[in-house]
A and B are shown apart, each in its own frame.
Chain A
Amino acid sequence: MAGLEDLYREIILDHYRSPRNRGELASPPAYRVEGFNPLCGDEIVVTFEIEGEAVSDIKIGGSGCSISQSSASLMSAAVKGKTVPEVRDLIHTFKGMMSIHESTLPGAGEDGEAADPAEPGPPDIEELGELAALQGVVKFPVRIKCATLGWNTLAQGLDEADAAGSAP
């Protein structure tokens, strides 16, 4: 049985207790997008600004469990200052980590959700740095949606920004 320490790593609890980039940017000019987890009622509001190629600023609002909030906090710290293509790569890699079958993780025991064949192949977890602390979430399949909530919300925001940017 997966232990709580697999889920609640110290860095996760730290980001939960002291979330980074907390708040909301004025929108407009910032892009603003809301994400919901209908399972548990978690809500996340991601506001971000794009200057040139880069995500120049990002803030996280809303409320939810330690996993959704810390994951969004870690995400905000990781993407700030990166170019949009880099952020998209990171989202891709992070979601890849969340879709690994748990039996491939060290110390895995019980059955988990099968990896979605539509999801990307094994990601390079090394490049995720601090975000790798969230890989234990995969052992708790119900919580994967918590961990990916902020990321899916940001991805949706980038799509909207793209659509808005390509408009006249």
Chain B
Amino acid sequence: MANVTGPAEALDVTLLRKDFPLLSREVGGHPIVYLDSAASAQRPRQVLDAMREYDETTHANVHRGVYRIAEEATRRFEAAREAVGRFIGAPTPSREVLFSKNATEGLNLVARTWGRTHLGPGDAILLTEMEHHANIVPWQMLAEERGFTIRWIPVTDDGLLDLDQLDRLVDGVKLVGITCMSNVLGTLNPVSEIARVAHAAGAVVVADGAQSVPHLPTDVSTLGCDFLAFSAHKMLGPTGIGVLWGKEELLEPLPPFLGGGEMILDVRKDGFTPNDLPWRFEAGTPPITEAIGLGAAVDYLEGVGMEAVRSHEIALTAYAMETLRERFGDDLRLFGPPDPSDRGGVLSFAFRDVHPHDLSQILDQYGVCIRAGHHCAKPLMRRFGVNATARASVALYNDESDVDALADALAAAGAFFG
């Protein structure tokens, strides 16, 4: 198990890093400096081991066989669901936690089930300008079909939601879609405050937790949203599995998402009867090994403590912001909230006039992995008048030496492009 610390205690990153095999590799003669956890996090040995152990000892299809390993597999699969539910404070995990492919599929599920049965011509929904495409395009696709309109909460120059017009914007909308934490700016949005206003206006709230759930303590009851989607691979778990949490009373009347096995109670030649929650939304054989891995990732994060993760990342983000400002001054433009406590560990920046793609290429020569591009948030890119940004993001296994390596590599990139 990971190094266990109290909330106020600093993480022992040196010790913790030993759990992550990939972080000991070298790239081009340099120790790897992994600063792209917002795209996908690295996995600790505990997650990798849990998946292998399951595959080697227990694997069978779930909810089907009556033999012993099938029963064990089902039990472990459902235990992972319980663990995830506990991790986000879900009141009844066994009915409210749905396994999806990733956060994107979870959001599509809401659009295709709740959206398709509740939205039509004359209706409106409200999104924010800082949404990931995953919380934009499913709604645009549905809007083309159903003929409702989409309104937008604007973003200020400081990368915060401009809530001055919220009352007017929310008036008459049936749904509000909001990211808990911007994958570009790191902005932590006041989801509970917006949810209160949205609920007063009669709207349901769909929250994108892909960036926040891996890095902050999450409790759906205080968050106030009705649906919350996130992905395992950004929270030390495997790819191929995500989670959609939804309030039971909202999920219960919804039609199925995909059709197939597992999601039915009965099929006749003249029709079918859908299964109960949560399996109604889990057609076909689910990602079982991945669910075991996600369960292990949740155990790992709980062992470290999400309060400790957040404290560590806030301190590291503050250090990074200060270091970059000191070393590069006006040569480096940082996007997003100036106060580290308003943001998660995601730093998008422009460095002189070096294109982010070139910057990322040069940093790679020093083993420094950052993301360059539009981060699947083109409306936000347009808002800031850029095609792309460079983005460094931290996780619990990063420390100040990673930030220093980033700064050194940036200095080298500056020298290279003259």
**What residues of chain B lie closer than 8 Å to A3, measured between beta carbons?**
365
> In the complex, A66 Cα to B290 Cα: how many Å?
40
Question: Are A4 and B387 CB-contacts (below 8 A) given A40-B356, A41-B374, A41-B381?
Answer: no
Residues of chain B with a CB closer than 8 A to A25's CB:
none
A65 within 8 A of B: yes
Q: Does A1 contact B (CB under 8 A)?
A: yes
Q: Is B116 an interface residue (CB 8 A)?
A: no
Q: Are B28 and A40 in contact (CB under 8 A)?
A: no
Main secondary structure of the interface of B (DSSP, over half): mixed
Residue of B nearest to A8 (CB): B416
A4 touches B388 (CB 8 A): no
Interface bits A33-44 vs B (CB < 8 Å: 1, else 0): 000000111110
- For chain B, the count of residues having a C-beta within 8 Å of the partner chain is 18
B211 to A: closest C-beta gap in Å: 19
Number of A-B contacts (CB under 8 A): 45
* Contact (A66, B387) CB under 8 Å given A1-B28, A8-B416: no
Q: Whole-angstrom distance from the CB of B382 to the nearest CB of chain A?
A: 10
Bound-complex Cα distance A140 to B362 (A)? 12
Least Cβ–Cβ distance between A167 and chain B, in angstroms: 31
B-contact 0/1 string along A98-135, CB 8 Å cutoff: 00000000000000000000000000000000000000
* B residues in contact with A140, CB < 8 Å: 361
Interface 0/1 of B139-172, CB less than 8 Å to A: 0000000000000000000000000000000000
Docked complex Cα distance between A8 and B357 (Å): 13
Q: Is B378 an interface residue (CB 8 A)?
A: yes
List B contacts of A64 (CB < 8 A).
355, 357, 387
Q: Which residues of A contact B374 (CB under 8 A)?
A: 40-41
Residues of A contacting B378 in the complex (Cβ-Cβ under 8 angstroms):
41
Question: A residues 1-18 with Cβ under 8 Å of B?
Answer: 1, 3-4, 7-8, 13
Interface residues of A, Cβ cutoff 8 Å to B: 1, 3-4, 7-8, 13, 39-43, 63-67, 140, 143, 146
Give 7 nearest A-B pairs by CB, closest first: A65-B357, A41-B374, A65-B355, A41-B387, A41-B388, A40-B373, A1-B28
